Amino acid sequence: MALRYIVQDGDPILKKVCRPVTKFDDRLATLLDDMKETLADANGYGLAGPQVGVMRRVFISIDERDIPEGQEDTAPLKFIEFVNPEILEESDEMVTLYEGCLSFPGRNGEIARPKWVKARAFDRYGNPFEIEAEGMLARCICHESNHLDGITIMDLATHFYEDDEEEEN
């Protein structure tokens, strides 16, 4: 495994639409393993292919689903891999929160996301799966799916605050 460079604000890669993964091979496995290491190192929650310069429809998220409440900081890290993901359904009910992105460090954008989503994707071996998610994971699935279409928090946020600023009202 190896750390990969995380593409930063201003790089046109972040605005491009990614192509589907067509080969579920060792190269994909290496990419996913590297992305996990990179995400853990950056202390993030999700990471998409284009953020490491790979223009393919793939992202990962932290998986906290089986961790008892309050133990998120000490439990071993688990991940969910999404290859060629598709959001199938989403709730009408929206939740508005500030969210960040590893490609825009220090910036937090206020974005309304569906409270609940149902998505379909493939794992690294090409097996399809479906997942229903709420809370942070639902937000992450939406955020990372947007990355695959060249859409970032800079396009979606109605308001920003910087990490070193007091939140404005």
Residue recorded with tokens 């000490």: 74
**Could you confirm whether 86 is annotated as catalytic?**
no
Question: Contact with Ni ion (CB under 5 A): which of 101, 131, 133, 140?
Answer: 101
> Smallest gap, in angstroms, from Cβ of residue 69 to Ni ion?
25
Binding residue count for Ni ion, defined by CB under 5 A: 1
CA distance 59 to 39: 11
The residue range among 13-21, 52-60, 82-90, 101-109 that interacts with Ni ion, by the rule CB under 5 A, is 101-109
- Name the residue with the smallest CB distance to Ni ion: 101
CB nearer Ni ion, residue 41 or residue 130: 41
Q: Which distant-in-sequence residues (6+ apart) come within 8 Å of 169 by Cβ?
A: none
CA distance 83 to 168: 38
Number of residues that this document lists for the chain: 169
Q: Which distant-in-sequence residues (6+ apart) come within 8 Å of 69 by Cβ?
A: none
CB nearer Ni ion, residue 24 or residue 55: 55
Pick the catalytic residue from 64, 144, 162, 166. 144
Q: Is 35 among the residues that bind Ni ion (CB under 5 A)?
A: no
Type and span of the H or E element at 135: helix 135-148
Active site residues: 144
Interface contacts to Ni ion, rule CB under 5 A? 101
